[in-house]
């Protein structure tokens, strides 16, 4: 048979239209396609997040040091600045909180301050804002414990007339509204405090006047000075001298750069190429989209977890924590005061005379010590002695009313002021051996304290003095 005869063989008739898919099959294919895309995105988020950790470590181990050395070698000028404003910036996005009961695990906190300085270059003073290490805002976080922006860069809270620090928290309006609308979640250890919402709970947790007194008295009356370094050509961009020195002299670890960088790049390209919208591009477009984000590597700690959360919210939280740990030492933000994190945020100020302890510790007109105490324990001992002297001058009825209020606070799980009144309670009991009204009230306060479960942080200052005071009153209770 010839080629032409084969080609002329009549063909079987073909139907040019396909049979329509039934709706169950259409639904099944749509679901399968969606699940496949979601699964690929979910896996890609893991690879991309892991890549971000490896690449961030690699960048910090070498290239970042070169960039810093080139920048900071020009910072030859020196000047002292004064802290004129300070706050704790709490960054919280309610949309990223998986469980409101543990919202603080999703919040980050960093200390910020505004420093004023002047020099021969200008008659007017200049101001610069600095924000330091960003940490998890855990239940153990205490405002009195914030004493550095980052390693070597000092931080100071303002102080009141008594020498107590006056901490200030700032949070954006959306987060504040969300906390104010949420039901109380800490009902196990502090169910009796009467908090109406999560914002009330936050105020109760951070209102620690004894710790504020210890931190303020320990700092002394010296002005809050910050040594600054600056480029003489740009004095408006001064930085804490400790930060400049640490970054300018950092040593590179090129072995870590090569090994971790290679692993990070492999994970990055694997993750990016797995994203459905990237895989659908032409090869040139795909490579451009995979390479361009690498230019933003120094800022990944802030923005990469947000991008990952679109595909895998759970792992985004994990990678944000890991990237935060990677950048723990290096994280430092400098800006104009109005551009600092939460510079215009909603303010929550903690001052003894306006706190929930206003009618106990906040009612006394204490004076800061002339000579700063040598330790946290010494500061608490001085505070206890000062309060004992103040209480001794009260009339019997006033003493009884004071200890009744202290017992009330213990019964309400408000336990951040009572320890400072132990010496006063002991002195009142010893001075009233006949079991008078002040002595009965003092004993009732001490007995309520000994029988209560206290929820304050174990890392609170003056642990030795706290233990000594409690042991000292045990015999008279």
Write down the pLDDT at residue 372: 92
- Please spell the DSSP secondary structure of 301-361, one letter per residue: HHHHHHHHTTT-HHHHHHHHHHHHHHTTTT--EEE-GGGSTTTTSEEEE--GGGSTTTTTG
Highest mean pLDDT among 232-241, 245-254, 430-439: 232-241
pLDDT for the residue 20: 55
pLDDT over 80 at 471, yes or no: yes
Contact, 131 vs 341, CB < 8 A?
yes
Among 273-277, 335-339, 405-409, the least confident range: 273-277
66-75, 77-86, 456-465: segment of lowest average pLDDT = 456-465
Q: Is the pLDDT confidence value at 279 over 90?
A: no
- Would you state the pLDDT for residue 2? 40
The predicted structure's pLDDT at residue 161: 93
Instruction: Pull the structure tokens for residue 34.
Output: 């969606």
Number of H helices, E strands in the chain: 17, 10
Closest CA to 141 of 219, 217, 211, 85: 211
Give me the mean pLDDT over the 381-402 stretch.
97
Mean pLDDT calculated for residue range 425-453: 90
pLDDT digits (tens, 9 = 90+) for 252-269: 888 989 999 999 999 989
- CB 132 within 8 Å of CB 51: no
Among 61-65, 221-225, 328-332, 344-348, the range of highest mean pLDDT: 344-348
Each residue's pLDDT tens digit, 110-134? 999 999 999 888 888 999 999 998 8
More confident residue, 459 or 359: 359
Phi, psi of 411, rounded to the nearest 5 degrees: -65, -25
Note whether 319 and 313 are within 8 A (CB): no
7 confidence band (pLDDT: 50, 70, 90): very low
The confidence band for 401, taking pLDDT boundaries of 50, 70 and 90, is: very high
Q: Residue 223 pLDDT > 50, yes or no?
A: yes
Mean pLDDT (whole number) for 279-301: 81
Region 231-242: mean pLDDT is 94
pTM above 0.75, yes or no: yes
The answer to whether residue 376 scores a pLDDT higher than 50 is yes
The predicted model gives 168-182 an average pLDDT of: 97
Question: Using 50, 70 and 90 to split pLDDT, how confident is the model at 455?
Answer: low
The CA–CA distances, whole Å, from 326 to 306, 319, 321, 330 equal 17, 10, 9, 8
């Amino acid at each position: 048979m010839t080629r032409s005869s084969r080609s002329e063989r009549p063909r079987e008739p073909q139907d040019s239209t396909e049979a329509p898919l039934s709706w169950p099959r259409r639904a099944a294919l749509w679901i399968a396609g969606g699940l496949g895309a979601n699964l690929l995105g979910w896996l890609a988020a893991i690879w991309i997040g892991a890549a971000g950790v490896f690449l961030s470590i690699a960048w910090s181990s070498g290239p970042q040091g070169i960039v810093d050395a080139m920048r900071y070698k020009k910072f030859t000028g020196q000047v002292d600045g004064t802290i004129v404003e300070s706050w704790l910036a709490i960054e919280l996005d309610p949309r990223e909180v998986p469980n409101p009961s543990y919202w603080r695990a999703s919040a980050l906190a960093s200390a910020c301050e505004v420093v004023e300085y002047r020099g021969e270059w200008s008659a007017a003073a200049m101001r610069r804002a600095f924000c330091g290490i960003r940490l998890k805002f855990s239940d153990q976080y205490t405002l009195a414990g914030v004493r550095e922006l980052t390693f070597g860069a000092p931080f100071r809270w303002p102080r009141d007339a008594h020498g107590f620090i006056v901490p200030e928290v700032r949070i954006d309006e959306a987060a504040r509204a969300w906390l104010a609308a949420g039901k109380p979640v800490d009902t196990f250890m502090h169910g009796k405090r009467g908090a109406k919402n999560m914002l009330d709970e936050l105020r109760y947790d951070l209102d620690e006047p004894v710790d504020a007194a210890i931190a303020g008295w320990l700092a002394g009356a010296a002005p809050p000075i910050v040594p600054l370094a600056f480029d003489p050509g740009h004095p408006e961009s001064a930085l804490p001298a400790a930060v400049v020195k640490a970054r300018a002299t950092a040593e590179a670890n090129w072995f870590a750069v090569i090994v971790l960088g290679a692993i990070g790049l492999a994970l990055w390209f694997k993750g990016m190429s797995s994203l459905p919208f990237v895989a659908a591009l032409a090869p040139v477009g795909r490579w451009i989209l995979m390479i361009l984000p690498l230019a933003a590597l120094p800022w990944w700690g802030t923005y990469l977890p947000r991008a990952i959360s679109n595909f895998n919210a759970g792992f985004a939280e994990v990678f944000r924590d890991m990237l935060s740990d990677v950048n723990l030492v290096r994280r430092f933000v400098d800006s104009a005061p109005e551009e600092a994190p939460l510079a215009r945020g909603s303010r929550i100020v903690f001052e003894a005379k306006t706190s929930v302890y206003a009618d106990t510790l906040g009612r006394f007109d204490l004076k800061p010590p002339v000579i700063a105490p040598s330790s946290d324990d010494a500061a608490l001992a001085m505070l206890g002695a000062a309060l004992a002297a103040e209480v001794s001058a009260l009339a019997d009825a006033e003493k009884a009313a004071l200890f009744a209020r202290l017992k009330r606070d213990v019964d309400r799980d408000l336990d951040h002021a009572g320890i400072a009144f132990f010496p006063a309670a002991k002195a009142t009991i010893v001075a009233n051996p006949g079991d008078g009204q002040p002595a009965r009230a003092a004993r009732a306060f001490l007995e309520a304290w000994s029988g209560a479960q206290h929820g304050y942080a174990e890392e609170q200052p003056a642990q030795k003095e706290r233990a000594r005071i409690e042991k000292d009153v045990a015999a008279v209770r």
